[in-house]
Every structure is written in structure tokens, then in C-alpha cells.
Amino acid sequence: MTCLQIPAAERAQLAMMLEVCAYPKPGNVDRCHDYPDTRLEHFLASTIFARSAFEEAELGTGRIGEIIKHAVRDTNCHLGGNTHFGAFILLIPLIYGKDIHGAQKAIEKTDTSDAVAFYKAFAMTSVRMNAADELDVNDPHTLTLIRDRGMTLLDIMQHSAASDMVAREWVTGFRLSRRGADILKETGPGRQAIVRTFLTLLATEPDTFIIKKHGAGVAQEIMNSARDVLDGKRSAEDLDGECISRGINPGSIADILIASLFIALGERWSWDY
């Protein structure tokens, strides 16, 4: 066996492991930085615990919403809180469908039962939504609303796409995940390509997790700073320090990077060198 022939479930785990280990990734947990309540070990424990749900996705027979719920449930047992909710939203259709094309076909088949399961998964996390969201996960009437309107999980993602770049991947054919995979392949093997891809996405896309927490101005500021790092005007370590001290973490771009790694690993990009 070579590492190119590993099953999709293990490839997804590798993608999660490689993302969290890559250093420096400004603002995010990495090999050298923890958050006070969420540490490297929590991310890696989630990587281990996600295996059963990924294997379920690999079978390609169950329902996407239910499998996302299983991944959240199984990775919720440690004290590090939510580590990979956004990553699961991307990885599970990608594993299920084998590639982006298959993932798109799978998400088109989601129905109201997927939407309901997804909301139950969402409620298990502490992920925040926009205030005033009509489909607030903390509102018990939301499930009734979803059922009454017959909303599918794809409908839910369309509803969230304007304010959430992970949901947007579902409606744009995994556009950023694809771009990240292309950057990885253009940059070459190994972990420096992971850091470069993260910085490039950070410089070109406003992170919606930052927007929700700190507003659009801060997200734009971080894009400019990431551009400065790519242009050699500033070190990644310096930006990392600033993000950490200001509590700014580009969590959604990290989720997309995981999907990019999964795609690139399936297209013979190598983490190993």
C-alpha cells in the first residue's frame, strides 16, 4: 500500500491532521499554539473520533444530514468544544460523493430529514449564528419552520450562503475548496504548501467566522495583513501573534483548507516529502 491508495475516510482524517499541525497559520490552533480551552490535542482527538462517521459517509448509503450529526456527536465527547463542524459540512459530502462532482449530486438529493438532522447537530455545538437569523438553531420553532416549508439541507445552505463561506461551498460547487486544492498542487508537496494555501485564501477571501465575531472591517484588515505576509512585508509569525492577542481566528478558512487538502490528496498531491 502507498499513501496514495488510502481509503477516503483516512484521507479525510489525514486532511484534518495536516491542517491543524501546519505552522504558522495566523490566528488558528497549530503545532505551536493552543487556545485556552481548545488545544492541539482536542483537534487531533476529533480527528480520531470522526472515523466512524467518515466510514459511514464512505459507504455512500446513509443520509448526509444524519452523518454530519454523527460526526458532531462523536467528536463532542472532549472538553475542547466544537473543533470541526464546518469541516464536516464539507468533508462528509466529499467523502460520500468521492469527489466534488459526486458531492454536488449527493447534496442535491438532501431532503427535509437531512435539514432536521443537521439542525440537531448544530444544536450540539456552540457555533454562533447571526443574531436575528430566521432559522435560529436555539429557537425550538425552527424545526417546525423547516418541516412546514419542506426545506432541504441544500435550502438551508442557500439560506446561510450569504453570511457563511462554508455553507456557500455547497451552492458554488465547492469553489474555494477547489481553489485551495489547486494552490496546494501548484505550490508542491509538504507542509509549506499548506501554510501558503492558508495565507493565500486568507488574503483573498473575507473569513465569515471573523465577520460574525468581529465585523467586516476586521475581516478586511486581516485580508490585507495576509497579503502583506505573502508579499514579504511582514512575517506570518508576526501576524499570528497579532491575531492571537486580538482573539481573531479565521476558523472558516481553516475548514475550507481541510476540504482543499482532502481534494488535493485524492489528486496525488503529497503531504510527504
> Which residue ranges make up the site for a second copy (CB under 8 A)?
1-3, 5-6, 10, 13-14, 17-18, 21, 31-32, 40-42, 44-45, 47-49, 51, 73-74, 76-80, 191, 271-273
Q: Is the dihedral of CA 172, 173, 179, 184 positive or negative?
A: positive
**Smaller CB distance to a second copy: residue 44 or 117?**
44
| Grid cell listed for 136 | 435560529
Radius of gyration of the chain (CA): 18
CB of 52 to a second copy, least distance (A): 9
Shortest distance in whole angstroms from residue 12 CB to a second copy: 10
Q: How far is the CB of 14 from a second copy (least distance, A)?
A: 6
> How far apart, in whole angstroms, are the C-alpha atoms of residue 125 and residue 84?
10
Give the nearer residue to a second copy in terms of CB position, either 49 or 96.
49
Of the two residues 1 and 132, which places its CB atom closer to a second copy in the complex? 1
Q: How far is the CB of 17 from a second copy (least distance, A)?
A: 5
Task: Indicate the DSSP class of residue 30.
Answer: B
Q: Find out whether 48 and 90 touch, Cβ atoms under 8 Å.
A: no
Question: Residue 163 or residue 270: which is nearer to a second copy going by CB?
Answer: 270
Residue 266 has what DSSP assignment? T
Closest approach, Cβ 49 to a second copy, in A, equals 7
Q: Which is nearer to a second copy, 192 or 220 (CB)?
A: 192
Closest distance to a second copy from the beta carbon of 123 (Å): 16
Taking the least distance from each CB to a second copy, the nearer of 62 and 190 is 190
Measured in whole angstroms, the distance separating CA 212 from the mean position of its chain's CA atoms is 16
Are 219 and 27 within 8 A, CB to CB?
no
Helices of type H across the chain: 8-21, 40-49, 51-59, 64-74, 85-97, 100-108, 112-124, 141-149, 153-160, 165-171, 175-187, 191-204, 208-214, 216-230, 236-246, 251-265
